[in-house]
Chains A and B, each alone.
Chain A
Amino acid sequence: MLKLENVFVAYGHIQAVRGISLTVPDHSVVALLGANGAGKSTVLRAVSGLVKPREGNIWYKEERLTRLRPPRIAALGIIHCPEGRHVFTDLTVDENLIIGGYARRDKASLRRDRDWILGLFPALAARLRQRAGNLSGGEQQMLAIGRALMGAPQVLLLDEPSLGVSPRIAHLIAQVIGQIRSHGTAVLLVEQNSAIALSVADYAYVLQTGQIRLQGTAEELRHNKEVEASYLG
Chain B
Amino acid sequence: MGQVLETGIAMGSLYSLMALGMVLIFRTTNVVNFAQGAMAMMSTYIAFAFLTSLHWPVWAALIAAMASSLALGALVERVFIDHSSRPSAPIASLIITLGLYSVLEGVATIIWGANPTAFPWTLNGIFWHRGHLVVSTNDAATFAVTLILVVGLFALLRWTRIGLAMRAMAQDASTAQLMGISLAKISSSTWALGSALGAVSALFLLPITYLQPTMMDTALLLAFSAAVLGGFSNLPGTLLGGLIVGVLESLVGVYVSNQLQNTVVFALIIVVLYLRPQGLLGRHDIKKV
Contact = CB atoms under 8 A, between A and B. Distances in A.
A109 interface: no
Given A82-B175, A89-B285, 18 more contacts: A49-B177, A50-B174, A71-B182, A71-B183, A74-B180, A86-B175, A88-B171, A88-B172, A88-B175, A91-B164, A91-B168, A95-B164, A99-B165, A99-B176, A99-B179, A102-B181, A103-B181, A137-B288
Interface in A96-119: 98-100, 102-103
Nearest to A150: B179
Interface of A: 48-50, 69-71, 74-75, 79-80, 82, 86, 88-91, 95, 98-100, 102-103, 133, 135-137, 140, 147, 151, 164
A74 B171 contact: no
A112 to B, nearest CB: 19
B129 interface: no
A151 B288 contact: no
Contacts of A135: 288
Nearest to B180: A103
B178 A82 contact: yes
Interface of B: 161, 164-165, 167-168, 171-172, 174-183, 285-286, 288-289
The prevalent SS among residues of B at the interface is helix
Contacts, number: 71
A133 B289 CA distance: 11
Contacts of A74: 177-180
25 contacts: A50-B177, A70-B178, A71-B181, A71-B183, A74-B177, A74-B178, A74-B180, A75-B180, A82-B178, A88-B167, A88-B171, A88-B175, A89-B285, A89-B288, A90-B171, A91-B168, A99-B179, A102-B164, A103-B179, A103-B180, A135-B288, A137-B288, A137-B289, A140-B288, A164-B289
B180 A91 contact: no
Contact of B179 (A69, A90, A147): A147
Contacts of A98: 164
Contacts of A147: 179
A93 to B, nearest CB: 13
Contacts of A151: 179-180
A97 B182 CA distance: 17
Given A95-B164, A140-B288, A86 B172 contact: yes
